[in-house]
Structures are given as C-alpha cells and as structure tokens.
Structure 1
Amino acid sequence: MDWEKSYLDIVLVPLGLMVTIAYNVWLWHKVRTQPLRTIIGRNAAGRRLWVSAMMKDNDKKNILAVQTIRNTIMGSTLMATTSILLCSGLAAIISSTYSVKKPLNDSVLGAHGEFMVSLKYVTLLLIFLFSFMCLSLSIRFTGQVNFLINSPQDSIVTPDYVSELLEKGFTLNIVGNRLVYAALPLLLWIFGPVMVFLCSVTMVPILYNLDFVFVSGRDGLRGKVDGDGNKELV
C-alpha cells in the first residue's frame, strides 16, 4: 500500500531533478568549450573588457563603475533576501503542528504521509539555504570589486585580479539563481510529483532560449569570428 502511494514520488521527482541537473551540466560544458555561444560566456568576456576600460580611464569613469557594481549588489541582495525569507517560512511550516497538506490530500497524487510532507519542506529549505549562502558570497566578492576597481593602475591591484574577483561574484550569483530555479518545480511537489516533472521539463526549453546566443544564417562572418574567439578563450 505504501508503494502504491509513493511510487510516483520515487520515480517522477528524481527524474525531474535529473532533467534539470543534466541541462545545467551540459550548459556548464558549453560555457567551458564554446563560451561565446552562451549568454554567460559572452557576458563574462564583456565584463573583463569593462573592468579593463574602467580602470584604464578611472578618473572619468569611476562613478559609473561604482554605480554599476552597486546595482549588481542590489540584485544579489534582493535574491538573497527572498531566499532567506522563504527559508523562514518553510521553517515555520515544518515546526508547526498544523498540517497544511491536509486540504489537498484527496485532490493530488503521490504520498501524503508525515515523512513525505517533511521531506518536501526540508528539501526546499536546504536548497534555499544553499542559494542564500551563494548569493551572500557573491555580494562579498562584488563588494570587494567596488573598492578595488578604483585602485591606481600601477598598484598591486591589476585589472586581471579585479576581473577574477568579479567573475567569482557573478559565478556565485549564477549558482544561487540556478538553485532558486531548481526549487521552483519542487515547490509544486506540494501538489503532487506529476507537477514537478512537468515543470522541470517545461523549464528546460525556456532556460535554453535564455542561455544561448542564436546566430542567423546571414551572420556567417560573425559565426567565424565567434569560432576563433572561442578557441582563444578556452
């Protein structure tokens, strides 16, 4: 009887998670091997050029650099605040004696026991906690860049070092946001494992269109330049 109630959770939820993990691993491989084919790779290359330009003409562009980095920190702060608020809400639900799942027991598929309900909320809590940690570290690295980007060119702080710190901050920001994206299907686990699998599968083509640069056929010359650039950046 227990198996009949929980087999959908055992099959569909891990399968949905594997779809999300497989896509992100493939995306990471593309960023490493063909960076200019991805939004992440192109933005990283642009940020390296931006840091070099800001530090080269620091007297005229220092305010622009600080304002740009400040806006980036505000975005990370918003996501980190959202993650910790969701953690607080989930912690309150877990510690509450009232079962928020009772009104849904007769209308959704999957297991409805106390263990399964606790597993759902604890899993979400851990994901949002890791997301908060990554976003907090991102704010730390980006804040350091806010100071160092105005350093003189002839100091020990070089544009390459500042670019490396900025990339660490953005990488942690991307990881934190991706964890939030992965938690969205799991939020639907409250309504059953079928929703988790359908949401995970639906998110892959959406993220694909947001993560990759599409070059039309008439841009053949630009495609050749991209190929050369990829080889240089690998």
Structure 2
Amino acid sequence: MEWRSCYLDMVLVPLGFLMSIAYHCWLWHKVRTQPLTTIIGTNASGRRFWVSAMMKDNDKKNILAVQTLRNTIMGSTLMATTSILLCAGLAAVISSTYSVKKPLNDSIFGAHGEFMVALKYVTILCIFLFSFFCHSLSIRFISQVNILINTPQEPAFIVTPDYVSELLEKGFLLNTVGNRLFYAALPLLLWIFGPVLAFLCSVTMVPVLYNLDFVFAFRSGIKQQGKADQVLNGCRDCESV
C-alpha cells in the first residue's frame, strides 16, 4: 500500500486531540469526586465562602466585591477580544487569494492540498469562535453577580448567597472552558506547519496542564501537618518525663 502524506494528519492530529480529551475527562472526574485535590475544586469552594462573606458584611465589603468582580470581567473581556480578533484575522486569511495559505516549503510533513489547508484554518476559526462564545457568556453571568452581590439580605428576598454562588460558578466555569478552548487552538496553529508539531504540542500540554490543575501543596501540607503533630506529641512526652 502506498504511503500518502495525509496519513500523518489522519493519525497524529486526532491522537493528540484524544489525549487532551481523555485528560480533561479525567480532570472532570477528579473535580466531581475529589474536588480539594484540584485547583478548580479548591477555588470553587473558596468562591462560595467568599460570596457568603461579602453578602453577610455587605456594608463594609461592597466596594471590595465590586472591584474583585470587575477584575474578573476585565480578564474575560480581554480573552474574548483576543479570540474575536484572531477569528477576524483567520477569516481574512481564508477569504484571501494570497500565497499565505500555501505551504511554507516542501519539508513540512503532512498533506499540502487545498482541502487540508482550508480544513486547518476553518478548524482553528471554529475553536476561537467557541472560545469567544464562552467568554461572552462568562461576562454575562459575572455581571449579574456584580449587581446581585450588593442586594440587601432580607428574609423575604429570593436572592440568597447560594443563588449568587451558583451564578458565579457558571461564570467561572464558562471562563475555564473558554480558556481551555483557547489553549486547544495552539496545537491547531502548529498544525499549519505540519501534524508532527501539532502532536508534540498536544503531548507537551498534558503534563503542563496537570501541574497547573492539581494541588500538590494540599497533599504535602497534610503530610507536614502530620509530621508536626508527631514532633509536638514527642516533645510533650519528653516534658512529661
């Protein structure tokens, strides 16, 4: 059977995506079962306590709450703006007739046909569009929280800290999904230069994300606390003797 240049694209690029999808499925399982071992679960728990504290003492902390949420909205706005600008640039490249859509040189592995080149740019464009969509929805939810967190706490009022926490968690969840889609576009950008670079980038991103998503200090803190308790108990035994 004759080896074709498109075989690398058909094997390496889907394999890299499957590795990334498998990692995020495992991360979602860890967040659901052991949330305090992950950055996502730990931050979500801290945000719930933060909302409760802000609404409980709203007269003194209302400005702090608004400024904190404003910084989060600015971050989501920056990512949404970057995504839509990249979408506009990719759309201009796709619709152009210049040689930028052609392969850089013949040393790049993978398929060089017009269909494959168009598929690469369209896939990257769709990823950035979904990232923009998630960040836009995140801004919407966090803006609602920015208003509702300063509502008066009356017994008959339906806006409770739990409701505000749910809105805030939806906003941060969409922000996380938008960021992960933005990260997923990096291997696709390298796919323009060949499937080998895209696969290597996907393989490299998994351990990088693993070190960013899991709380190793939490486990080491438990061990250090256990050792400290043992030392403290030993000192007490010495003093008693």
Residue identity over aligned pairs, in percent, reads 81
- Structure 2: unaligned runs, 5 residues or longer: 229-241
Which 4+ runs in 1 deviate beyond 3 A?
Answer: 219-222
User: Are residue 52 (structure 1) and residue 58 (structure 2) matched?
Assistant: no
Q: 2:202 — aligned with what?
A: 200
| Count of aligned positions | 222
TM-score between the two structures when normalised by the length of structure 1: 0.92
Aligned mate of 1:218, from 215, 224, 229: 224
Which whole-Å deviations, capped at 9, do the CAs of 1:45-85 have from their partners, x for residues lacking one? Answer: 00000000000000000000000000000000000000000
Q: 2:80 — aligned with what?
A: 80
1:16 deviation in Å? 0.5
Which whole-Å deviations, capped at 9, do the CAs of 1:173-222 have from their partners, x for residues lacking one? Answer: 00000001111111000110000110000011110000000122324489
Separation (CA, whole Å) in 2 of partners of 1:80 and 1:3? 42
1:102 deviation in Å? 3.0
Does the C-alpha gap of structure 1 residues 221 and 40 become closer, same or farther in structure 2, counting only changes over 3 Å? farther
TM-score between the two structures when normalised by the length of structure 2: 0.89
Does the C-alpha gap of structure 1 residues 192 and 2 become closer, same or farther in structure 2, counting only changes over 3 Å? farther
Separation (CA, whole Å) in 2 of partners of 1:28 and 1:81? 27
Q: Is the 8 A contact 1:38 1:212 kept in 2?
A: yes
One-letter identity of the residue aligned with 2:181: L
Q: Is the 8 A contact 1:19 1:201 kept in 2?
A: yes
Separation (CA, whole Å) in 2 of partners of 1:18 and 1:69? 35
Separation (CA, whole Å) in 2 of partners of 1:21 and 1:79? 22
Q: How does 1:65-214 map to 2 (within 5 A)?
A: 65-102=65-102, 104-154=104-154, 155-214=157-216
Q: Is the 8 A contact 2:142 2:171 kept in 1?
A: yes
Bigger Rg, which one = 2
- Structure 1: unaligned runs, 5 residues or longer: 223-234
One-letter identity of the residue aligned with 1:40: I
For the residue of structure 2 that corresponds to 1:191, the secondary structure is: coil
Q: Which has the higher contact order (CA 8 A, sep 6+)?
A: 1
Does the C-alpha gap of structure 1 residues 2 and 77 become closer, same or farther in structure 2, counting only changes over 3 Å? farther
Q: Which moved more, 1:92-101 or 1:145-154?
A: 92-101
Separation (CA, whole Å) in 2 of partners of 1:91 and 1:76? 22
1:105 deviation in Å? 3.4
Separation (CA, whole Å) in 2 of partners of 1:199 and 1:88? 24
Does the C-alpha gap of structure 1 residues 182 and 144 become closer, same or farther in structure 2, counting only changes over 3 Å? same
Q: Is the 8 A contact 1:40 1:211 kept in 2?
A: yes
Q: Which moved more, 1:100-109 or 1:3-12?
A: 100-109
Q: Is the 8 A contact 2:77 2:139 kept in 1?
A: yes
Root mean square deviation, CA, Å: 1.6
Q: Is the 8 A contact 2:69 2:146 kept in 1?
A: yes
Separation (CA, whole Å) in 2 of partners of 1:118 and 1:102? 10
